[in-house]
Structure 1
Amino acid sequence: MPEIIRIEMDDPRYQKERELRNKILLRPIGVPDYGWEMNDKNSWHFIAVEGAKVIGCVILYPLNEEKSKAQLMQMAVDHSWQGKGIGKLLVKALLNFATTRRIKEIEIHSRADVTTFYEQLGFQVYGKEFEEVGIKHRLLNRKI
């Protein structure tokens, strides 16, 4: 079973995380590589690894100075590992981390076609559907 690890940006695996995000999230919708990294330096990074390979990632970005509210962003799982529970492992590790950091609420701008995934993990849809990077999204949140 893959291992979930929190890394810093100076970890060599951060570059593999960036590449995975480009491959899975950005290139398919025409966003330039590295075009969505504006929050990376202020975020906590989680990766799923199998051996030396980064097969999944997600970041958690604090939304306020107190760091009591944060946003789950940039969730990506390598195509060959999708549907095998890697995303759930990543979210559970992120939620455990958030609990230890006394984060009280996590929000997500989820692509509309995957909101069920997050609902199964205790997140709730709120507000109206909106468009972001040319894709329909929904807002979700979860109190911790």
Structure 2
Amino acid sequence: MSEVTVRVAEGPDDLEACFAVRKEVFVVEQQVPQDLEYDAYDAGAVHVLAVRDDGTPLGTGRLLTGAAAAAKNGGERGIGALGRLAVRRTARGLGVGARLVAAIEDAARARGLTAVDLHAQTHALGFYERLGYEVYGPVFPDAGIPHRAMRKPLV
């Protein structure tokens, strides 16, 4: 595979690429209703984007901070919320997801956050555990898909 760059999304073209990857992975592949996939949090989120050196988008994720993150993690402040992590099928198994998570964690640290929470689809728990996240709380449905809450302290 050619070189992959992971960066904070900037401008409308990058955001469009992030949303296109999410549509392909969540709406088309996992059949999440489009009105659930895109939400009011997108406008204030930090979006990250992985692209091949030819500009092809490979993956994305977002970081919520402040009140938006607190709404996702039970009201705790100072904790970011990682979400909407999506890697196109053709790029899976190549380390793109781990690099996206690292970029989101870096963005959280840069904003003075002490931890990152996420809601992981249960089939992805092992992926996040390998990156240092720990499960807490029961299984719950999100868009009809079983999830678990996870957290990683940032050092």
TM-score with structure 2 length normalisation? 0.85
Q: Secondary structure of 1:31's match?
A: coil
User: Partners in 2 of 1:98 and 1:110 — Cα distance?
Assistant: 18
Q: Give the C-alpha shift of residue 69 in structure 1.
A: 1.4
Match runs of 1:30-41 below 5 Å: 30-33=31-34, 35-38=36-39, 39-41=41-43
In structure 2, the partner of 1:24 is 25
Q: Structure 1 pair 97/90, CA: closer, same or farther in 2 (3 Å)? A: same
Q: Give the C-alpha shift of residue 33 in structure 1.
A: 3.2
In structure 2, the partner of 1:138 is 148
Compare the two structures and name the one with the higher strand fraction.
Answer: 1
Q: Which piece of structure 1 moves more, 56-65 or 126-135?
A: 56-65
Q: Mind listing any 5+ residue stretches in structure 2 that lack a counterpart? A: none
Q: Give the C-alpha shift of residue 97 in structure 1.
A: 1.7
In structure 2, the partner of 1:112 is 122
In structure 1, the partner of 2:5 is 3
TM-score with structure 1 length normalisation? 0.91
Give me the identity figure in percent. 25
In structure 2, the partner of 1:88 is 98
Q: Give the C-alpha shift of residue 130 in structure 1.
A: 1.1
Q: Mind listing any 5+ residue stretches in structure 1 that lack a counterpart? A: none
The one-letter code sitting in structure 2 at the alignment partner of 1:61 is L
Match of 1:60 among 25, 45, 63: 63
RMSD over aligned CA atoms reads 1.8
Match of 2:47 among 37, 45, 48: 45
User: Partners in 1 of 2:141 and 2:108 — Cα distance?
Assistant: 27
User: Partners in 1 of 2:5 and 2:78 — Cα distance?
Assistant: 27
